[in-house]
Structures are given as structure tokens and as C-alpha cells.
Amino acid sequence: MFACASLGRGLPIALGACVLASSVAMAPEPDPVPRRWQLSVEVGPLRTASVETKDGTRAYFYLTYKVTNASGQDLLFTPSFDLVSDSGEIQRAGRHVPAEVTKDILARLDNPFMQDQVSIVGVLLQGESNAKEGVVIWPVTTTRLTELNIFASGFSGETRPVELKNEEGTPTKVLLRKTLMLAYQPPGELRDMGSTPLPLLEKQWVMR
């Protein structure tokens, strides 16, 4: 398990630079009992899909989820999902994903309530009847993987200010956010997976 600090919501620092092994050991853990608002999130399987695009056939990861607001207040829901490979590459969901790919995957899911990663942003009303279902998508940049992690933020209001050191040893103040981490173990060669879900090894809240 590892965590990574973030300079603001949209600017994650490269894993190798922001949190070394020693920093991970000292990273704070989320409060055992949430003191800030927190949404209930049910995560579906992580799968791959081959989609015909104008540039040829391309492979994509996609993940579905359902989020429910039982926090006691209506909240602005602005989720973000980062996919981190065993090489340390970080991909934000939706980037370099053509609209035609999103349309194709939504059609395969055949769920009239499923929203893409742009449409789902907005006020999340309270209660099970107002739950939202969404899908997030990433391009597959390599078909050989031994480790894959997804970090989902925007589901908790818990934050923690900390001071970390960069590669030069200079202290840097960052704000960690409570984030849902999903750890997967790909079989090594994704071409043989088809639409078979990737095995989920771990699911837990971390400060990132």
C-alpha cells in the first residue's frame, strides 16, 4: 500500500518524487470514525474493452461505481479517478478518451442510469433514491502489467495538512485528502483478459 500527496485537487506529484518508502511509513491514516462528510461508494469490476475508433482499434480500462449521499446535507459531487501503473505512470480518468469511446462503453453497459465522468458532476442529493451511477475510462498504454492501483477522490471531506520533503530535501507543505484506493493484480498480459474483470486485491481509504 502506498499514498501520494497532491498539490491541490488536480496536480498529483509523480510517485517517485513526492513519497519515498520512508515517507509512506509515516503517512497519516484517515480517522477511524469519519469526522467530515463521507459518501457511500460501491465499486464495480475493472475491465478492459477494445473499441473501434477513427485511429483503429484501441484498448481501454473502464470502471463503474454507485455513489449515495447519506451525509445529512446535499453536496457538490466532483469525483476524480487516477490510475497508477507499476511503472509509476499516473493517468487521470477521461483524458485522451474520445467521446466515441465513452459512447461505445456506455452502450455495452446498457444501463439508462449510467452517467459518464462529465455528466455525473453536480449536486448529489441525499438518500438512496438520489444515488448516482457512473463510469470512468482510461486508455490502456501497455498490455503488460503486474500491478495497478486506482485512487478515487471526491468521496470524503476529510483532509490533513502535512509537510513532506522533495528530492532535494526541501520541506513542502501539502494537503492530503481522504481517498479510496483500489489495488489490482493484472495477469501480466492484458490481451488474454478480454472482458474478464481484473482481480481486486485490496480496497481501503488512504490519505493522498
pLDDT of residue 149: 97
Classify 37-155+179-207 by CATH class: mainly beta
- Locate the domains of the chain by residue range: 37-155+179-207
Mean pLDDT (10-residue bins), the chain, 208 residues = 39 38 58 92 96 92 98 97 94 96 97 97 98 97 90 97 84 93 86 81 95
Sorted by sequence, the CB contacts under 8 Å of residue 71 that are 6+ apart come out as 37, 38, 39, 126
pTM: 0.84
